[in-house]
Amino acid sequence: MGRPSLPSSLSATRIVVPGAPVAVGQVLVPKEASHHARVARVREGDRVEVLDLEGTVGLGRLVSWTGDRCLIEVESLQHDRGEPPEPLVLALGLLHTAAFDWAVEKATELGVTAIVPVRCGRVQGRIASPRRDRWNRVATAAVAQCGRSRVPRMHELVSFERLLAEARGGRLVAHAGAAMPPVPLRTEGAGITVLVGPEGGLTDREVAEALDAGFLAVPLGARTLRAETAAVASIIVAQQLAGWLD
């Protein structure tokens, strides 16, 4: 007996062509994106997906190679695949580079539509330097890996006070010892904002200010989590409370 075939979304090589129009028919893939297909050893007839990172995924096959560019026959389109039904924002206290990179990657895989680095009281001054270009690259790679269709928007570093003032929809703040908020979480069609503190967490004053601003405290269990782990757990809990994982 042969090995069972994988679903097309798992077996297809994903080729990212940011901003390029993706439509049914033949697409001559740019050189840089074609290089990825060659490194992945995509051969004529192999299944591929073409992502524009703006919500459209073209499903098809590689037809031929023309020099250093490949020709793709797009057979069908999918729109907003893997995206949440409403905006899902992660507001995360700024972390050191490796930890924030990791949080960006995992948050992208879990479906966040925007990531907002926040300057909180316990953010360390020596690491308070956002790297949006780097985070965009991390997120783009994560989108291609996980099969969703959009890259989350990377915001500029904002103050804690501005984050509280601008957050909309269902608002949650990770806080040890809190009671689980009521289900389902009301989003009013404006999505969810999940607020997670930096290393050391939010200060008691910041938690109180978040609650006063309409955030609901959400517990993440009895263990002390790293900030990046808390971000991942909070995203999952938020979607469960909103009924998005049913």
Question: For the segment 22-47, what is each residue's pLDDT rounded down to a tens digit?
Answer: 999 999 999 999 998 999 999 999 99
Relative orientation angle of helices 97-109 and 227-242, to the nearest 10 degrees:
20
CATH of domain 8-79: 2.40.240.20
Provide the token pair at 150.
């959009």
Q: How far apart are CA 103 and CA 17, in angstroms?
A: 24
pTM: 0.89
The residue behind tokens 């999918």 is: 78
Statement: residue 72 has pLDDT above 80? yes
Statement: residue 187 has pLDDT above 60? yes
Name the burial class of residue 188, with classes exposed (0-12), middle (13-18) and buried (19+) by CB atoms within 10 angstroms of its CB: exposed
Closest to 14 (Cα-Cα) out of 67, 75, 60:
60
The residue behind tokens 């992208």 is: 108
Name the burial class of residue 141, with classes exposed (0-12), middle (13-18) and buried (19+) by CB atoms within 10 angstroms of its CB: middle
Give the bridge partners for 90, in sequence order: 115, 194
3-class secondary structure, 74: strand
Statement: residue 96 has pLDDT above 90? no
Closest to 63 (Cα-Cα) out of 31, 18, 27:
27
- Report the pLDDT averaged over residues 219-244: 94
Question: For the segment 107-145, what is each residue's pLDDT rounded down to a tens digit?
Answer: 999 999 999 999 999 887 655 456 889 999 999 999 999
Q: For the chain, which residues make up each domain, given as ranges?
A: 8-79, 88-242
Q: Specify the CATH number for 88-242; select among 3.40.50.10860, 3.40.1280.10, 3.40.980.10, 3.40.50.1220.
A: 3.40.1280.10
